[in-house]
Chain A
Amino acid sequence: MTGCWDQDLLKNARLIYGEGFDLAPNGKLLSTFVIRDVPASEQQSPKNDIIFTEGNTTREARDNADDQISRHLRAYKNRIILIGEEMAKQDLYPILDIFYRDPKSALNARIGVTKGKAADIFSLKKVGNVLIAEEIDELIKSKEETTTVPKVTAEKIYPIMMDPGEDFVLPYLVEKGGRVDVSSVAMFHNHQFTGILRPDESIMYLLLKDKKGKAARFTRKINIRNGHQNSYDFLTFNVAKSEQKMKVLIQPGNQVTVKLDLKWKVNIIEYPKDRLNEKKMVAQLNKYLSKEMTDLAKDTLRKMQKARCDGLGIGRQLMAFHPSIWKTQKEGWDSNYQKVHFAPVIQVEITKNGIIN
């Protein structure tokens, strides 16, 4: 009986698989829709249709797109939301409001920021043989497993976006010669895009946040003086296990200090200069990598502070465990956050080295 009013047949729907938002030159919202056409017969492969429309709001842009296509535009299968760089520098929330408000929207859609325009990436239509929305979705998913980008969906950033004491990061997509590259992350402060973390830094950030995926790889140039020869070699290792301890301390003068202790158990996966059977050598490498990684952590945190991105939720920690300090720091947390003193220490321990020494 309820079907009489609320039926919404799939055959009458045009499904949005990807939605992109850019800032149009006239200040309006330029939306890109990737619409999936399911073929009538099974022999044909599914095809994408790309539509660009302008509107003042997300909903208006969607309605304008609906005017241009047959049947009804439906967003409940949306898999990816991309936001162009220029748009992301504005406020992110107004674009996403409809996703949060509409009970039928797909809140589990992945979300990312693109270098240049989101429209340009969707305009690729296909990467290799894979349709663009699927490609981006799968790509980001695989990058989540390598700890390159955080696992974020529209839903997950909602509580963080609204919380004054924490910021989020999103995958940063770059178009490179007809392909999409996801290796960096875009940092946000409140609702605005404020900077980028390079590939290594983004992995480091996620490890500092204790959000390791299945793997986390670093390649480092090893420069250890060994006897009479200089060996310049590269070493690639995978962080197999990472133990993270974060402590927010208040030091005299209300100086907020964050102690980050990380203990890594790493596997060496590539090291052509094969010397790992010597204990002394391993110890030397441990020490060297620990220092390298601690430096990387410091750089990463400095960059985040510069972008005012409180990705580790220091404000939240203050709010929760040092409410009196938070009261004094709340006003202008943006600038106060930049004064927070971070003291990361990373201890690397090589535990495995593959099937050769």
Chain B
Amino acid sequence: MIPEKSRISQGQFMFIVVQAQVGVGILSLPNKVQAIAKGGGWISVLIAGLVIQVIILILWALCKQFPSDTIYSFLPKITGKFLGNLLCFAYIGYFLLSGGTVLAKFADVIERWVLQETPRWALLILTLLTCMYLAIENLRVIARLFVISSLTIIVMVVLTLMGYVNVNFSYIFPITEAGWGKIVKGATEALFPLVGYEIILVIYPFIEGKSGGKLKAASLGNMMITLFYAFEVFTCLIIFSPAVMPQVSEPLLYMLKGFSFQLIQRIDLIFLSVWVFVVSTAMVSWIYMATVGLGRFFHRGEHKKAVPYAMFILFILAMMAQDPSISDFFDRMLRIGHYTFVVGLPLILLCFTYLIRKRRT
């Protein structure tokens, strides 16, 4: 049922999870968690990683019930055709909105940091065209590129390490200044930059091997990213004093701005160029998730035919998000969407399938 050229190995799957998770959120995450959890922000990130691990477990358990179906084909099986298809469209909408928000935030950062004069549409079109080039390919090609682009995370870590020439560990103390309640609350904030693992719902049937191995790959990917994020947040916390943090919206870039080498004066720009790569892969994964669904409904399973107009929707969404009030609205929608489509619904569906199975036997 699954064509040979779309199959991916478990190792590739791990890197897909990694790339889908690392996105625009990382630059502003230290600022956001610090606002709530103060010096304990890095613990919030670790807690968020644990929570996501649980969510991954739920998603995996759900997918395991239908080893050869994507979410778009098993939803109708559980809830009946009409409701199932309706839900499928809701998922497609959620994936598109996520992609659009990522694109909008990406454009915001680039406009603020590098290309101030360039109009937004030019930036968006350039980014989307590059993403399209990858998104129309089959999953195996996408997976291969994701594996290669994961190397950029190492580059990002190395660049961040340079910040350590100028740190003050006392900035994070007292670690529980904000209290454990606030640290947990900070974890909910850290949950959103880490989204992207939902991709498991769509690509589960394409992965080779046993289900246990698939879970292991997803968990490993999630762990890597959680540790990476926690490291970045920790570094920012010991570089910027608590009073400065609220003023710097992208601490990770800001700390690199002051460093310079003989040859390179602006390390933040190097970091940004690497980051562009990582963000575009995240965007491709959202586009892929949405277009697989669109392809199933309108193009007999060929997702690439859906890519061009999905791109157009993303473009419109990102143009709309230029207005801060609209982008705030999108953010709120995404939060609700995330809790319903990635946590709530899968949990309900999982219970449902168990009940159905039980009744049958």
Q: Give the B-binding residues of A (Cβ under 8 A).
A: 1-2, 4-6, 103, 106-108, 153-156, 158-160, 162-164, 166, 313, 316-317, 319-321, 323
Contact = CB atoms under 8 A, between A and B. Distances in A.
B168 interface: yes
Contacts of A319: 170, 173
Contact of B170 (A103, A153, A317): A317
20 contacts: A2-B118, A5-B115, A5-B117, A5-B118, A5-B119, A103-B257, A107-B258, A153-B258, A154-B258, A155-B257, A155-B258, A158-B244, A162-B244, A163-B241, A163-B242, A163-B244, A316-B171, A316-B241, A320-B174, A321-B174
B361 interface: no
Interface in B322-336: none
A6 B118 contact: yes
A214 to B, nearest CB: 15
A2 B244 contact: no
Which of B243, B259, B260, B265 has its CB near the most chain A CB atoms (within 10 A)? B243
Interface in B108-143: 112-119, 122-123, 126
A108 B259 contact: yes
Contacts of A321: 170, 173-174
- Looking at chain A's contact residues, the main secondary structure is helix
A317 B170 CA distance: 7
B208 interface: no
A155 B254 CA distance: 9
B262 interface: no
Contacts of B239: 159
B166 A108 contact: no
Contacts of A107: 257-258
Contacts of A320: 170-174
A162 B242 CA distance: 9
B170 A6 contact: no
Contacts of B244: 158-159, 162-163
A1 B242 CA distance: 40
B155 to A, nearest CB: 21
B115 A6 contact: yes
Which of A4, A153, A164, A319 has its CB near the most chain B CB atoms (within 10 A)? A319
Contacts of A162: 241, 243-244, 247
Nearest to B110: A2
B243 A323 contact: no
Contacts of B173: 319-321
B206 interface: no
A95 to B, nearest CB: 16
Nearest to A163: B241
B115 A103 contact: no
Contact of B258 (A6, A156, A160, A323): A156
B126 A108 contact: no
A164 B170 contact: no
A58 B243 CA distance: 23
